[in-house]
Homo-oligomer: A and B are copies of this chain.
Amino acid sequence: MNETLADAGEFALIERVTADVVRGPQVLVGPGDDAAVLSVDGALVASTDVFVEHVHFRTDWSSAEDVGHKAIAAAVADIEAMGAIPTGVLIAFSAPKTTQASWVEQCVAGALAECADAHVSLVGGDLSGGQCVSLAVTALGQTGGNTPILRSGARAGDAVAYKGRLGWAAAGLAVLSRGFRSPRMAVQAYQRPQVPYGAGLEAFKNGATALIDTSDGLMADLGHIAQASGVVIDIDFGCLDIPDVIAAVAQASGHDVRDFILGGGEDHALVGTFGWGEVPSTWTVIGQVVPADNQDPAVLLDGQTWLGERGWSHF
């Protein structure tokens, strides 16, 4: 059966893909009306991320389900990065009318599975024609009355720590780029990032002063914190764990392993700054915040300017 979006029809397909949607207790009105309605504990936290074929994913490197997983993970990570509690997502989907309806159904199935992992509900969306396949995911969350953790709060003397994975997605991408499919662990990490759900709230509880997720790469994302906070961040490379798989991929593909760990994005680890002694026990300390003095805000590697891969640019 080769049913296309045109065959299936907009409304019928929306009904099919939302039939299994599980509504969390906060969802007062789910998909199917003009808008969703959710109760909010504290303030609302909202972020949107676009995910386009040939830019953010290739269908020969990621299954439809992988794409759904990854799009949700990337969007929800932004809610975590505010120290907040994710609650819901909306998916705006557009694709050529010749697209297989089954691809869209599997993509939504992957999205719903990731929603379950993240404890969020799919509350709404849109489905439209388009010249290319594109998902825009809006993630919603709540502060629970807590103060959101901004990028601008890092203070000289803070420890820098992360939770999650670093370099895995970049290693997986390097494997796929060379036409290989293994090591599977690296490829899977690229296909479905493992966001440390709950780590945002954990960071809040431990008084994190600044927080971000590594969507662009560790050094680039810490650069956003340094810039917003007006500080210099010094990373101690010796504190970073280099998994054997990543080291092996780097060697086999002729990359500097530091480019994966420091420059690779799309892992959506959380990285933040904490008062010394306040870093949660499940996080890894990798450096410290030093005063900017007369320097421009910057991220250093072992006290030196790092000239390697600086992270992802979208153009």
Contacts and interface: CB of A to CB of B under 8 A. Distances in A.
Contacts of A239: none
A260 interface: no
Contacts of A90: 46-48, 138
Given A44-B44, A82-B35, A94 B313 contact: no
Chain A interface size, under 10 / 10 to 19 / 20 to 34 / 35 or more: 35 or more
Contacts of A159: none
A285 interface: no
Contacts of A211: 34
A162 interface: no
A313 B91 contact: no
A33 B82 contact: yes
A81 interface: yes
A102 to B, nearest CB: 15
Contacts of A46: 35-38, 46, 88, 90, 123-124, 138, 140
A129 B55 CA distance: 7
B148 A37 contact: yes
Given A10-B313, A78-B34, A81-B34, A48 B131 contact: no
A29 interface: yes
A88 B55 CA distance: 28
Interface string A34-62: 11111110011111111011111000000
Contact of A53 (B36, B131, B138): B131
A206 to B, nearest CB: 18
Contacts of A56: 128
Contacts of A128: 50, 52, 55-56, 314
A203 to B, nearest CB: 12
A127 interface: yes
Interface in A66-107: 78-79, 81-82, 84, 88, 90-94, 97
A163 interface: no
Contacts of A29: 82, 148, 150
A126 B130 contact: no
Contacts of A291: none
A265 interface: no
Contacts of A28: 43, 148
Contact of A37 (B36, B39, B43, B136): B43
A213 interface: yes
Contacts of A126: 48-50, 136
Interface of A: 5-6, 9-10, 28-29, 32-40, 43-50, 52-56, 78-79, 81-82, 84, 88, 90-94, 97, 123-132, 134, 136, 138-141, 143, 148, 150-152, 211-213, 228, 313-315
12 contacts: A9-B313, A28-B148, A35-B84, A37-B45, A37-B84, A38-B46, A40-B40, A48-B125, A50-B136, A56-B128, A92-B92, A97-B315
